[in-house]
Amino acid sequence: MLQKSEQAGVFAPPAGKRRGRRAWWIAGAVAVLAGAGGYYAYGLSGATATPGLATVPVVRGDIQQTVTALGTIKPKTYVDVGTQVSGQLRKVLVAIGDGVQKGQLVAQIDPTVYQTKVIGDQAQLDNLKAQLAQQRAQLDLDKLRDDRATRLLASKAGSQDTADAAAATVRIGEAKIAALQAQIKQTQATLDGDLANLGYTKIFAPITGTVVSITSVEGQTLNANQTAPIILRVADLDTMQVWAQVAEADIPKVKVGMEVYFTTLGMPDRRFTAKVVQVLPTPDTVNDVVLYNVLIDVPNPERLLMTSMSAQVFFMLGGAKDALLVPPSAVRPLARGGSKREARNEATVRVLVNGEVQTRAVKTGLSSRTQVQITEGLKEGELVVTSADPSAQRVTRGPGMPPPPF
């Protein structure tokens, strides 16, 4: 007979029977745990459920193995056009983007000072030449007097002093002529230099190309005595050059003559093909990263490539057509064997066959960021495991593996 609990307001068995009922519940719980333990032990020894897996088929296709780098496009040939003389920039005769021919007048410095120097040099030179003519005439007269004095001395009609004086006068005249000739040469050299400086006030294009920048303006005073002032830059845009910065780890793979292709930000779908022409031996260090500059020449007949464009460069290490391909996530390089197995390109993949996962040894060939070539061990259409399905809750466990956490 049940009695009513005064505290809880519910029916409860008598005290003696409660102890028996508690023992019954404990025994039942032990039995349930024992059954669960037996089921778990069965799962450890014979579970064959296939886990949820992500798989992809082995396909055929083309693969290219590349080294990638970022680069900047520059004109292969350009010249900074400056001035060799100081003065005020009077005229700039071209604008940015204008095409120019070699020898074309592109700018002019005020020539007034240099014209004045040339006029002064020419006047001094003319004066020296006139003095030279006068001195030569005087020398001719002195030679006649010397001859007369020599004859008189020979006939006992003249004195020795007179003859000596006449001879000395001739020698003095000859020295004066030599001095004037030297002054004329010096003045001529000064005139030639000032004529050259006057010519430098006219600035001509040194190459055929396009004006890509102008750094000086009309009216600006340029001082050639300190640094060579730059007025403008002319570049040949028919051939551009990509300066690609290659990482230290990849530079041994890059060789002169290697084929490359690159894309630009403005034309991501357009591939420009070219070849490596030079690998510079001295690196640049950017944020403690060592980068080597690789130079790539590319024709630019359509003028699509412009100065300072950014380029994504791909150096072609190798390629294969109609190859068996799998994702990199499906390939596991062998951990044992060291460099010998790596040299043989040995690896393993997991293959799903009739619902079961098999580990298979394969040999790999070329690789890219998205594909790995399989040269031995797989067939087209076979399913390879790339990763476990994150949505799968059941997994197959082998002996000794702990149960999943509750």
Res. 103 pLDDT band, cuts 50 70 90 = very high
**Same domain (yes/no): 173, 250:** no
Least confident range from 7-16, 144-153, 278-287, 344-353: namely: 7-16
Q: Compute φ and ψ for 401, nearest 5 degrees.
A: -80, 140
- d(Cα 311, Cα 268) in Å, to the nearest integer? 9
- Tell whether 214 is covered by a domain: no
Res. 204 pLDDT band, cuts 50 70 90 = very high
**Same domain (yes/no): 384, 361:** yes
> Taking the CA atoms of the chain, what radius of gyration do you get in angstroms?
49
Identify the CATH number of the domain in which residue 244 sits: 2.40.30.170
- Tell whether 161 is covered by a domain: yes
Last residue of a domain, one of 284, 301, 319: 319
**Same domain (yes/no): 121, 195:** yes
- Tell whether 104 is covered by a domain: no
308 pLDDT higher than 70 = yes
Give the pLDDT of residue 304.
95
Nearest Cα residue to 214 out of 323, 367, 96: 96
- For the chain, how many structural domains are there in total? 3
**Same domain (yes/no): 175, 190:** yes
Segment 319-377, tens digit of pLDDT: 899 999 999 999 998 865 555 445 468 999 999 999 899 999 999 999 888 999 999 99
**Same domain (yes/no): 354, 380:** yes
- Tell whether 395 is covered by a domain: no
- Tell whether 120 is covered by a domain: yes
Give the pLDDT of residue 154.
82
- Tell whether 219 is covered by a domain: no
Give the pLDDT of residue 155.
80
Choose between 25 and 197: higher pLDDT: 197
Q: Domain range holding 375?
A: 53-62+321-388
Token couple for 91: 């005229």
Give the pLDDT of residue 158.
75
- Tell whether 315 is covered by a domain: yes
pTM of the model: 0.63
Identify the CATH number of the domain in which residue 384 sits: 2.40.420.20
Tell me the mean pLDDT in the region 264-271: 94
Last residue of a domain, one of 319, 334, 363: 319
Give the pLDDT of residue 276.
97
Chain-wide mean pLDDT for the chain?
Answer: 83
